[in-house]
Structure 1
Amino acid sequence: MGSVSKEILQDVPPYLRVYNDGTIERLVGTEVVPPTADSATGVTSKDVLISPKTAVSARLYRPTLSSPTQKLPLLIYFHGGAFCIASPSFPLYHRSVNNLVSESRVIAVSVDYRLVPEHPLPAAFDDAWDALRWASSHVPGGTGTEEWLKENVDFNRVFLAGDSAGATIAHHTAIRIGTKPDPNIAFKISGIILINPYFWGKEPIGSEAKDSMKKAMVDKWWQFACPPGSSLGLDDPLINPMAKGAPDLSGMGCSRVIVTVAGKDILRDRGCLYYESLVKSKWEGKAEMMEIDGEDHVFHIFNPDGDKAVNMIKRLATFINQQ
């Protein structure tokens, strides 16, 4: 018998292809590095299982301590990748979070949430919630067993952070904790860090209207990741927090937010609109925005040693540690 030809069913450049036999070929973001004891920064990392039910794990990071019981802020981090690629062990993400931990002096939990299309949204958002519950199990008197969290986390200083799609996850997690408190989450969120957030919408704004080719590419990313059965498409509240029917920004469950945008990023104007909408809302917290001129989307991931990336990480560290 002749062989059956393998055809591309869905092509989502530059990320992946889905073939008619169900095979998924990820084109980028597949490399991994093991957890390390980094001699340059003094940051140590290790991998842990968060949920036996879903097999969701996380990579933990801890800087050099001044004493075995030193208490540090907790940073729960969500990586980017359009919801469909990458992981905490991807070399660029491992280094980026390592650098942020070194500069800001935090214990970090970098969540390896489940990816589209094998696990359709909102699986990634559910995994973020499970990560908060898991972290909360380590508050004093809790049932958690991870020593780094039990011994070294100050649960009065908990932050959420993410870049691109990870920033989108951080936003929705903060909204959820502000509007639907969970008795299994015993701490409050002090602040969230949104690095080049992946927010989008049907009607173009700003530079989106001037670059139809790039807009079509970003449209395709969300059309691929959009939850099955969603009738709202590019204006689904999961990707457009300013869309009709999206949770009101006044419900943000933290007291501080910082948004970073990059001048050449087609997602820049959405990040600016989000910041402006948050400031104008009835939310009673404090919002900050940092724009990095001359750089593109998540530039700090690809050029972590550049002056602009180093300065941005320093600003984020200041945001975490300000009193």
Structure 2
Amino acid sequence: MTSRHVDSLVPRETASAGQGGTRSGGLRGYDSALPALDLLDPSTPIGAAAAAAVEALAVERRQPFPRPTRRRIISVANQKGGVGKTTTTVNLAAALASHGSRVLVIDLDPQGNASTALGVNHHSGVPSIYEVLVGDRPLDEVIVKSAEASGLFCAPATIDLAGAEIELVSLVARENRLRRAIASMQRDVDYVFIDCPPSLGLLTVNALVAARELLIPIQCEYYALEGLGMLLRNVELVQAHLNQELRLSTILLTMYDSRTRLADQVVHEVKEHFGDRVLSTTIPRNVRLAEAPSYGQSALTYDPTSRGSLSYLAAARELAERGRDSNGAA
């Protein structure tokens, strides 16, 4: 091949250096041959999905969520790990706060994942929920504001909370300590979400005694209902002896994969058993939900138009609508 033939294959500059242009490399010379890519073009699958997401997000933002007439205290619990308790707590709280509600998240898990996802410092030595439960520190003194939304607050958990299960055993009224702390709180909030650890110990019991509502995330997989009976028996014991106001108000199906028959079977069984307590919105498997905490953000901030974000927005609206006519009792 001659040098003339080789030269014909090299993209030419669109402007010379003397005309104020810059020397380019790569495929810049072929840009004019490529059609412009419209990411919102509804004639393409990606464009249609993106356009639908943007429209859904715009609709959600135009319609404010109803606020409860009294404070709703909701424990998010399931002793099975990895079902989306923290993801649910953080994203529901962020969605409600971004639509006008004032929301407090109490991180009751020693791992502190909810604190991480809300961008709240929770290293050892930071004032935390541990001092509230074990040291009688006022809850107001440990609450910090999250950057996620103007009305979103967090009572963080530190690793010190890991020893609280043992320390609480010898304390007077050990099951009621969180309830008393919330009752004496001066901060005005519409919702209190309590993110429980994956166990049925004293921390979870404190959360159940403090709450009026129980929200259980259930994973759309084979072992979803295994062990749920034990949690419900504990709820019945708490209702009978410690907190008559507590009720199972909400079931949220998480990690739904529409490609599998198993997920549909789990959805069918849960709805058949729990009826209208199951939210009609299901949370899909979505990589954005997993990525967001590593950036100290909720999925709604990290990627507002992702399927996970839009699903949690819809679930938060359902939750708000359900509490509107029942004075927060759901």
TM-score normalized by structure 2?
0.36
TM-score normalized by structure 1?
0.37
Q: Which structure has the highest strand share of the two?
A: 1
Q: Which has the larger radius of gyration?
A: 2
